[in-house]
Amino acid sequence: MALKDHLAAGGWVALPVVGGVALSLVATIIGGTRKPTREKLMTATEELDNALSRYQSPTSTRNMLLLGQLLAYLKVDTNDTRASLFARRGNDDEWVLAARYSRNPILGAYSGRVYAANETILAAGWAGVETVYNVTASDAEWAEAYAAVTGASVEYTRKLHMKTRTSFGMQINHTEDHTQRAVGVLILETLVPGQLTVDMMPRIRRHPIFPLLAIECGLHLETRDALSDDAVAVIRRKVAKGDKKGKHSGGNVSAAARKR
């Protein structure tokens, strides 16, 4: 579904405002100097990327309402539980955290890290594997135990700040032309052993919010792309203007503006 269809269906009236803010940011940073250097342009794109990330924050009010309702429906909306929605384009080698919610601000925090496509529960959920991962080890032994259960490396699990005791992942599908394609994975985690169970998965699918998660995955990715494309166009015009005056050789800055 195209971005404009998402916006029309969901009424995301804030997008033009945010787009204007993002473009104003770029114009202010770049337009304020008569002789833009490549370093200044790269700094501008980095600041723009940060601004876009803040707008499409996985902990935005809209996302928290969606995931919070699911946890409340399952009666596990506690300080020990977290829900995360990860989006992915087809065979991309990275995941984008599209939404995250926890009543606990520490567990609900967004680290900004990049998630590889082959990471444990994410990869299993994407492949349609539905299983509950249980770890009952002490905090001191948790990293090794979690690695053994999920198939992750101990080096990876030691970097995780949430010592999850029970978790599962569910594939998020988008229906198009009577066919379904995977667009993301919903992951639920808790610090309480046994709090999440397999029977919760069909219950989540029956909830009216579940189909909205596929739209949220697409909206999150497409909004970032749309805003990034507009910003890159502004930057390229500034670079071209500088080149005509013989003051700047811009190079390719689009990769930095599009970084995830």
d(CA 79, CA 176): 37
Burial class (CB in 10 A: 0-12, 13-18, 19+), 16: exposed
By three-state DSSP, how is residue 11 classified? coil
Quote the pLDDT of residue 97. 86
27: how many CB neighbours lie within 10 A of its CB? 15
Phi, psi angles (nearest 5°) of residue 59 = -110, 25
Q: Which token pair is 159?
A: 């970097």
pLDDT band at 12 (very low <50, low <70, confident <90, very high): very low
Q: Give the bridge partners for 133, in sequence order.
A: 167
Residues contacting residue 212 through CB under 8 Å, at least 6 positions apart:
66
Asked if residue 124 has pLDDT above 70, the reply is: yes
- Range 179-185 average pLDDT: 83
Residues contacting residue 120 through CB under 8 Å, at least 6 positions apart:
150, 151, 152, 156
Quote the pLDDT of residue 109. 84
- Range 131-146 average pLDDT: 92
| Residue matched to tokens 């980095």 | 46
- Range 37-64 average pLDDT: 66
pLDDT band at 246 (very low <50, low <70, confident <90, very high): very low
Q: Are 61 and 54 in contact (CB under 8 A)?
A: no
- Range 26-52 average pLDDT: 62
What is the tens place of the pLDDT at every residue in 153-164? 888 888 888 999
Angle at 147 between CA 115 and CA 201, to 5 degrees: 70
Quote the pLDDT of residue 35. 53
Among the ranges given (3-12, 41-50, 129-138), the one the predictor scored with the smallest mean pLDDT: 3-12
- Which candidate, 143, 103, 157, 151, places its Cα nearest to that of 127? 151
By three-state DSSP, how is residue 129 classified? coil
Quote the pLDDT of residue 254. 41
Quote the pLDDT of residue 115. 74
Quote the pLDDT of residue 207. 94
- Range 226-230 average pLDDT: 63
| Residue matched to tokens 């970097």 | 159
- Range 124-134 average pLDDT: 90
pLDDT band at 13 (very low <50, low <70, confident <90, very high): very low
pLDDT band at 142 (very low <50, low <70, confident <90, very high): very high
Angle of helix 210-244 relative to helix 14-31, nearest 10 degrees, comes to: 30
Helix (H) or strand (E) holding 87: strand 81-87
Q: pTM here?
A: 0.67
